[in-house]
Amino acid sequence: MDTAVKDGARTPWRDWLAILGRRSRPRLSKVERALIGANGKALTVLVTALHARGHLDVREFSDLLGIFSVVVGEDDDLEGMILAVWAGLLKDSVSS
């Protein structure tokens, strides 16, 4: 599996985090946005390691997490959006 990080590249999840930080409700601080991004990247490293060892498929997990984000979003919109961002991070990690 090839994983690449594009320096300074605009990705949908980065745009979403920027918009979320400007929304009137909920308003996230720069630190909160950074924590969301860092947790998503840590999840990506974990899932990538499991994928490399043949335990898990990153795309399948990303799709599952995306579906889960919709379910969670029914009760807590912000948590659902954060999970959706993480699903996007995982998708970006396997896209060429």
Question: Where in the chain are the domains?
Answer: 12-94
pLDDT band at 15 (very low <50, low <70, confident <90, very high): low
70's tokens = 């919709």
How many whole angstroms from its chain centre is CA 40?
A: 5
The pLDDT tens digits for 23-57 are 445 688 899 999 999 999 999 999 999 999 999 99
Are 21 and 27 contacting, i.e. CB atoms less than 8 angstroms apart? yes
Alpha-carbon span 57 to 43, nearest angstrom: 13
Write down the pTM of the prediction. Answer: 0.70
As a whole number, the mean pLDDT across the chain is: 82
Q: Residue 43 carries which side chain, given as an amino acid letter?
A: L
E strand or H helix at 53, and its extent? none
